[in-house]
Amino acid sequence: MKRNKKELTKKLNRIRGKILSDTIEIEFLLTERIHRFFHPRQDHRATAFYWHILNTHKFSFDDKIQLFEKIPYFARLKSYNSIKNSLIFVRRLRNQLAHWELLENKSKLDDIVLQDPIKLKEVIVNNKLLGEFDKRKEFLLSKL
């Protein structure tokens, strides 16, 4: 049983690392897109806006998604709903992998079960879910 726990933890850590790394890339592109909207030309105000507002720990990925949703220009894009839904999917999966607990007794190497420690909801991390993440990531990388 200890070997199974070690293998599950090792695989989950690899998945977490990939998702968190990919999400950082997506968040960076979203930040750049918002930055270019407010400051199409680079000047000292654009630099200050980026470094003192957009790119701070106080302005989270969730805040950036909410700002994206509130800007009418973005809402008029053909791919707006798909972008918004993909951003929400990515954020949700990132949060689940970062904060939810591994349920060893329900997990297998191909179906890792995580549980929200507060709401007791579960998610199964498997190839189907990771494939959906990869599909949405590629879409966002092409649209942001």
Helix (H) or strand (E) segment spanning residue 7: helix 2-38
Q: How far apart are CA 10 and CA 118, in angstroms?
A: 24
**What's this model's pTM, rounded to 2 decimal places?**
0.89
Mean pLDDT check: name the lowest of 53-57, 77-81, 134-138: 53-57
User: Can you say how many angstroms the Cα of residue 95 is from the centroid of all Cα atoms in its chain?
Assistant: 7
Span 32-56, pLDDT tens digits: 999 999 999 889 999 999 999 998 9
- Cβ(61)–Cβ(54) below 8 Å: no
Comparing C-alpha atoms, which of 121, 120, 102 is closest to residue 112?
102
- pLDDT band at residue 1 under the 50/70/90 scheme: very low
Strands 101-102 and 122-125: unpaired
